[in-house]
Chain A
Amino acid sequence: MRIILKNSSDLPLYQQIKEQIKTAILNGELKAGQQLPSIRALANDLHVSVLTTKRVYTDLEAEGFILSRVGKGSFVAPENLELYLESKRRMVEKQLTEVCRLARQLGIKPEELHTMLDLLMEEENDES
């Protein structure tokens, strides 16, 4: 799993970490049942506070992505297709919201946007 923290990013550190762990779980890089590093180890490696990593794990657990067992550590939760699908959708939605905002700002019409999206998707398909 790669976690890259950006000093210039506007997102708080804990959110950057959380998003990247979530991405790793969603794209299957982290498998169900796999053990996550301890909050202290993760904090030391990322040079962030143990309070930050603790918050990340607490949030991920509340959202159903990981499970914590007292004295054992934290593990990736069993695959929950519905949850994953929902999260994936939300991640794309978030980016799209940004795109919509920019388009509106620059005066690009919805139809134009749809065309752009179709074109881009086609290009992606050709490449892969």
Chain B
Amino acid sequence: MTSILEVNNLTKTYDQFSLDRLSFSLQKGCITGFIGVNGAGKTTTIKSILGLINPEAGSIRFDGMEMNRQEKQIKNRIGFVLDEGYFYGMLTVKEMKNVIAPAYSSWDEQTFSNWIGRFGLNPNQKIASLSTGMRMKFAVALALSHHADLLIMDEPTSGLDPMMRSELMAILLDFMKEEGKSVFFSTHITSDLDKVADMLILIDGGKILLNEEKDTLLDNHARIKGDSRWINERTRPLFLTLRETPYGFEGLTHQKEALRQEMPDAVFERPTIEDIMLAYVGGAEIAH
């Protein structure tokens, strides 16, 4: 599969934190989940892609075009949803739409009013008086009404109830049905990704720790439970995380085969994305 977006050596330094020569690419036709704990660098990365932050170094390419040179053309094909909404609160839904719509060469008014209707948004309501969920829906409606090829979303699900989260996931899958569409979406609520993501990128402390197919990642890791007596010098290093209690142990590994030979009677389970994320982000301290 070809890539739709390429980020190369993205570097941005803050007092407390920095993005360190971040490089990754997003595949066309895929939903890529961008996971990490709060403060890992997700928002900084997304803002850099959208040109809201000036990195010290690095380049961003979209479908063969250089962001620095063809910003307008590229942004015409990107739809975005930012976490806090980034709207003018004193404007109404319709007024804000009237400001944004002319920016896009292929704005589709019909599509927009369909979304507004489906979401139950009142065009004459002030944005400031919308709930978090409604504001997110408005942002989604704006992002999906100009036939974008890439949808970039920063923490779209934080602050939403489970119903709305699954509604949003259904919208994403719907969007993906059209050939060649891609989604890049950051979240710290990894359960959102269990069902929809194709690729996963894990970021921590401004560095990318994992960049893999979701299913491969889940296939290659296992959550193992068993008798604590099976834990010894040989088996202990095979775990990424390990928790021992008087009743047994539970741990996460990426060396399934080796452990299966060492402890054939242990229970091997499929991990969740969260298990894997936590193992890589904070695992080192827990395991040793």
Interface residues of A (CB under 8 A from B): 7-8, 10, 12-14, 40-41, 43-44, 47-52, 54
Q: Give the distance to chain B from A12, nearest Cβ to Cβ, in Å.
A: 4
Whole-angstrom distance between the alpha carbons of A7 and B272 in the complex? 10
What size tier do the contact residues of chain B reach?
A: 20 to 34
Whole-angstrom distance between the alpha carbons of A48 and B218 in the complex? 11
Interface residues of B in 96-151 (CB under 8 A from A): none
Interface of B: prevailing SS: mixed
B7 within 8 A of A: no
Residue in B196, B199, B218 whose CB lies within 8 Å of A51: B199
A8 touching B215 by the CB < 8 A rule? no
Quick one: CB contact mask for B204-223 with A, threshold 8 Å, 1 for yes? 00000000011110110000
B270 touching A14 by the CB < 8 A rule? no
A49 touching B199 by the CB < 8 A rule? yes
16 further contact pairs, Cβ within 8 A, besides A13-B219, A47-B195 = A10-B256, A10-B268, A12-B219, A13-B218, A40-B176, A43-B198, A44-B173, A47-B194, A48-B215, A49-B30, A49-B197, A49-B198, A49-B214, A50-B29, A50-B30, A51-B30
Interface residues of B (CB under 8 A from A): 1, 27, 29-31, 173, 176-177, 194-199, 213-216, 218-219, 256, 268-270
Residues on A with C-beta less than 8 A from B215 are 12-14, 48-49, 51-52
B213 touching A51 by the CB < 8 A rule? yes
Q: Smallest CB-CB separation from B170: which chain A residue? A: A44
A7 touching B29 by the CB < 8 A rule? no
B213 touching A52 by the CB < 8 A rule? yes
